[in-house]
A and B are shown apart, each in its own frame.
Chain A
């Protein structure tokens, strides 16, 4: 598969449209519907619990164009959260008891108001997670962002699909591994990924193809050993994440002839324990334009919160968000397969 330099949207590709993706995903009549399968958990339909994480997509612009990206992010994407929407988020965070703010993108650092926003969230004494792609920290104009995040005690979570160059560059683009190593060394020099409990730095593994992740615990040991021995790099935890059959990864599955077998594998690997711990029960996802979703994947499929919950931050009401019924589809099998998958790694 050729490297990408622009998003699918830039090329006007059919699968850049959320509804076209849904047509593919929900067309597998031979597979059991996710809602029916979830009933094996013994809790009826999937419902949210207490909200612990307020995840905000600050925009779809990114300096990378990864082959598996579920956001279809890239340098050409113009969807960026405006300052007034960020202020609306701050107002919600100021008046509701949600302890953690999780910033994602694209590259969240590319939002021009990123530093202002982090500053304001920190004033509310909330925990902040930034999903940084690492290479942005080594990009012109962003060289001081690592230090800024260290000063604000931001927890950093970064993708590194393998501890070797070959797999990493294959998925994320030529030169990404070397640049990521440089960024990790910079983070370590600031104290990230070592003993300081306020400077947590985690890595994320996701398969470079149509297969499920390995054991999180065993792979973490491999990553720690290899990154330490070869590059003298430390980090705190490794999170293993399953690739979701949406956007660019869906395109890859279809182009490579792996779509049917991958979906079958996800369904066959349904794990009720993982299903009972899915992240959408504890997280809400805010789009760049303030729309509300049950998770970042539903956001990319434009499946807003429903079943009585608000669909935009202008109508935010935590009481109707707690215990809401979650909007599901066949893509949800991606979070319930094997050891499970979430923004915090395995769930079972």
Chain B
């Protein structure tokens, strides 16, 4: 194995069902239902998934949901904005912890 991540492994995802077929079946049913149009459109869900894929830094998910977003009618502009949303939350999440730093700084210093 040259790398931990191999693009072809995405196609083997269903092999995860071999060890626990019932759990895999449940996961698939739930996963499928989640991405069906509901209060949110399929495109909105694909773009959310694309943003989350970047937040959790999953290359398989980025691959799958870039394609899914295109297939739901999104374009590069919309996908880039979705990635910025994920990035802003990740950046903001670090920054907001600065409040803790300030709290502790206040406690420890005169």
Chain A residues at the B interface, C-beta cutoff of 8 Å: 162, 164, 166-167, 207, 209, 211-215, 218-219, 222
A211 neighbours in B (Cβ, 8 Å)? 67, 70-71
Q: Across the interface, name the chain A residue whose C-beta is closest to B76.
A: A166
Per DSSP, chain B at the interface is helix
Per DSSP, chain A at the interface is loop
Chain B residues at the A interface, C-beta cutoff of 8 Å: 37, 41-43, 67, 70-73, 75-77
Q: Can you list 21 A-B pairs with a CB-CB distance of less than 8 A?
A: A162-B75, A164-B77, A166-B76, A166-B77, A207-B70, A207-B71, A209-B70, A212-B71, A213-B71, A214-B43, A214-B71, A214-B72, A214-B73, A215-B42, A215-B73, A218-B41, A218-B42, A218-B43, A218-B73, A219-B73, A222-B73
Contact B75 A164 (CB under 8 A): yes
B76 neighbours in A (Cβ, 8 Å)? 166
Separation of A167 and B78 alpha carbons in the complex (Å):
12
Q: Across the interface, name the chain B residue whose C-beta is closest to A210.
A: B67
A214 neighbours in B (Cβ, 8 Å)? 43, 71-73
- Closest CB of chain B to A33's CB: distance in Å? 21
Separation of A207 and B71 alpha carbons in the complex (Å):
8
- Closest CB of chain A to B49's CB: distance in Å? 15
- Closest CB of chain B to A79's CB: distance in Å? 34
Separation of A251 and B28 alpha carbons in the complex (Å):
36
Separation of A7 and B67 alpha carbons in the complex (Å):
29
- Closest CB of chain A to B14's CB: distance in Å? 12
B67 neighbours in A (Cβ, 8 Å)? 211
